[in-house]
Chain A
Amino acid sequence: MIPDALTFGTLLIVVAAFASGLSAALLLYGYLTRSDEFQRLTLVASGVSTAALVAAHSYLTYLFVVGDYTYAYVWENSAEYLSLLYRVTGVYANHEGSILFWATLTAVVATWTVYSSHFEGRGSRLVQSISLAIVATFAAMLTTQSPFTPIDVAYPDTPAGFVPPDGDGLNPLLIDPWMAIHPPITFAAYALLIVPFALGIVHFVSRFRGEASVFDEWLPSMLQWLRISWLLLTASIVFGGIWAYGVLGWGGFWSWDPVETAVLIPWLGLTAALHAANRYETSGEYSIFAPAAAALIFPLVIFATTVVRSGVFRSVHSFAAGGIGTGILFLLAVTGTLAIVLPFAYWFLEAGDPDRPADEPWLSRRTVYHGAVLSFAVLAFISIWGLSFPVLRNAATGVEVSVGQDHYNLWSYPVVVFMLLAGGLYALLDMRRRRLAIGATAAVAVVTIAAAFVTPSANWFLSDPSAHDPAVYRIVGNASVLSIVPPAVFFAVTWTVRYVDRVRGVPSRAFKLRETGIVLIHVGGAVLIVAVSFVYLFSTSASVAVVGVADATDNPEPIVEEVPDSEYTVEVTNYDSVEEPTIQDAARSPAEMLAVSEEVSLVRGEITEIDTIENTDVARLDDSDVWLASSDASTSFEEGTEVIARGNVFDGESLATDADAYVYTDADNKGTVSDPPEDVHEPRMVSHEVDITVYEGDEKVAEGSIAEQEYLRSEMNTNDALIERGITGDTYVVGQVSEGGASITIDTYPLANQIWTGVGLMLVGITALIVGDSRFRKR
């Protein structure tokens, strides 16, 4: 490493890498030798590692907030015009910053287990060692690709010591409040998964060594970790969906973009692991699968990260284009191998047959539950495979294939239907109503199949397969979406009945809270599945072009257009264009100007003194050492006026005076604050905002404003949609807007709100479960 690149921030990361590596090694030594001799040093090392990472992350955030463009990463992902919120968003807008953030959270979690008195004993040391080794890997990755690389190291063409006056900007897609919170909760969810991973691995190591495993001891707390992680991950996916719905005017929550698919994979794995671990806790089943599943989620997270960050997978999320650190691939290889090979090896070599009742019927609760767990695994596999095989096949044979939405939708659909039926059957079996359970499930299955043939209109078909598509796509695609309703209703009802049955007569409020949580998650899931199945199939779309939008600004008469092929009428009542930053905001004060080095500056200030030097009019700004200068006869400076001017900057010495800087301007480049020289200023973004009212027939269905933002530097546009929410669905108005005209599209998304209802129930449910369970255990 060249000394120039070793900045303060990078140094903190190097310290963290060293300290966490040391801590991991000492813990491993302690585990192997059964000794405690380095315990104090371990505590110090892990504490230093976390403190260094927290300091590095805070320092990076500080650099973004103050806009210190000495560092390439800050320059690439921030700019003066951004508000505080989006400067902070910039910290994790790209590869280096997001890995640093993830590493920091992981270090906090890992170190917490070292310090907490709950986790003691031999196995725990190995758990902590593995966790800190992962922190060390993250930190080592960051030392080679540091967010604190100085700009003249990252861009060797820039002269040494040059600090750009303004940042390059932030990806416009990230300028959205949901994007400000989406990454932190995603990384928090990911960080929490590190301990279940280490626990799962240690469980098998202990078993192989013939020792007692710490897994059982940690299980209750691990379940809570998994649940909190599930809560955060679910919320993160939903926030991502809300963002996709709003930003860009995509008008969709989900489009099987590789990143969306990728993040779903750990979620499915986590859900399966939660089911298995729950079962293991209550009945001792899944003695291999539960720890294996807990261990496997973290590699799935790394896999998801590979998809997001590698650029191998074409995706709208490729904010971090370019090479992925070998560190991520290394982590994927090591953690994935451990999490797969250890459980399988144990299963083959060591596992005896678990005890089970000899008279257990074939269709038992255990079998059905197992079916549900396997279904999650199958769903995860459909997604993993859909992402992977095009890449694998292309690499192996040079054949390029396309994997569209139909792959995911049509393959997953039957599995989801099966899961709902199996889930309902399980709930009934759990109440010891065996004959009723089997009879009812069989009846619902028959109704489901019958419903698959009921298609009142073409919208009801799941897909629109052509005659040349493969058989499976034609069969599933030609089924009616109505077939999701009977199993979903069955599922929701049976779980509600099971809930009532379980809590009846039980006085414990903690138990009731826990059970309420469980039932809300399941009912919410059923609502979500139905809403998601319907929302896209029944969406409608109509659009119209409106010309002369700019006339609406001062025109009391709105522009009215009928939307062809629909009942809609659009009224445009106002048009506004907003620049960001405005010339007033972009102009620097004399002090700000002196702080940055620019050849051409835009300054503002009040003229406090005027003079003439060598036929040049000069004017002092704000009593500072910055003066305007002009030899243009048509420019005049007037004391007491506040002006904005642009011009070449010269050192004060050029006129042999004691001023620090002169800004040479002329009539075209100078104006007052109220009448500034607009033409000399190029804003970052121009937002075209149109106020509209939409009628369907005589009924007003939406009122508000839509906007299109033009980001002039990145040649990228974003849209603000007008979303009128209703119980039956959303009216979604979006358009491409410019002062010349607007092309306005009116979409409807039926049941969109039921998606939020379903998700809301699930989030409330898991929270109730987490709270209820911790109270229940304390008793």
Chain B
Amino acid sequence: MTPRKLLTIVVLIAVLGFGYYSMNAAPVLSDHDYTYQGGLEWHEDPDEALAIAEQEDKPVLVYYWTTWCTYCQDYEDQHYQDDEIRDTLDEYVLLAINLDDPGPGASMAAEHEAAYPPQHVIMTNDEQEITRLGGYTEQDQFLQRLESAAENQ
């Protein structure tokens, strides 16, 4: 085997490895079950989310978002990447509804009168609204509201 052939083979293997790795490393936006805002798994179907919330006895955090909303990008890049917030979010069942394409979440968006992104609604698993964060909320404020709502559900 010549050095050049060896080099070619090494590069080919590296390229295949790169292809596989990079494909899996790309942040997933959505799949059949979840949407992945901020790298977190969010349900897209309210019925599913509520059933799980009841089972696990957790409140539900509903997040209304769109792809074009820049504040959603801030939530994604900052708030949801914060470890403390991520820990607090474990107390919740997450439900994200894309206002451009709400799918099964359409009736809930209408009920919550969520006309613009971003909005967060925290509710019990029997759909009682606990609190609501309209528009953008600073990171520490966001955390505080999440924590207090989780305690007082």
Contacts and interface: CB of A to CB of B under 8 A. Distances in A.
B81 A466 contact: yes
B87 to A, nearest CB: 13
Given A370-B8, A401-B26, A467-B81, 7 more contacts: A364-B3, A374-B7, A385-B19, A399-B28, A399-B32, A401-B23, A407-B22
A356 B2 contact: yes
B78 to A, nearest CB: 9
A364 B21 CA distance: 31
B18 interface: yes
11 contacts: A370-B7, A374-B8, A386-B22, A389-B22, A389-B23, A398-B32, A401-B26, A401-B28, A402-B29, A411-B18, A470-B25
Contacts of A403: 26
Contacts of B24: 470
A362 B81 CA distance: 48
Interface string A70-97: 0000000000000000000000000000
Interface string A609-627: 0000000000000000000
Contacts of A367: 3-4, 7
B30 A381 contact: no
Contacts of B3: 362-364, 367
Contact of A381 (B15, B23, B25): B15
Contacts of B81: 466-468
Contacts of A382: 18, 22
B29 A401 contact: yes
Nearest to A464: B77
Contacts of A316: none
A356 B5 CA distance: 13
Contact of A472 (B14, B15, B21, B83): B21
A466 B81 CA distance: 7
A34 interface: no
Interface residues on B, range: 20 to 34
B103 interface: no
Interface of B: 2-4, 7-8, 11, 14-15, 18-19, 21-32, 39, 77, 81, 83
Interface string A386-409: 100110010001111111100100
Contacts of B26: 389-390, 401-403, 407
A378 interface: yes
A280 B4 CA distance: 15
Contacts of A411: 18, 22
Contacts of A386: 22
A374 B26 CA distance: 25
Nearest to A398: B32
B15 A370 contact: no
Nearest to B38: A468
Contacts of A468: 39, 81
A371 interface: yes
A316 B21 CA distance: 28
B11 A374 contact: yes
Contacts of A385: 18-19, 22-23
Nearest to A363: B3
Interface string A527-557: 0000000000000000000000000000000
B21 A378 contact: no
A363 B6 CA distance: 12
Q: Which 8 A-B pairs have the closest CB atoms?
A: A470-B25, A401-B26, A400-B29, A399-B31, A367-B3, A370-B4, A374-B11, A466-B81
Contacts of B21: 470, 472
Contacts of B23: 385, 389, 393, 401
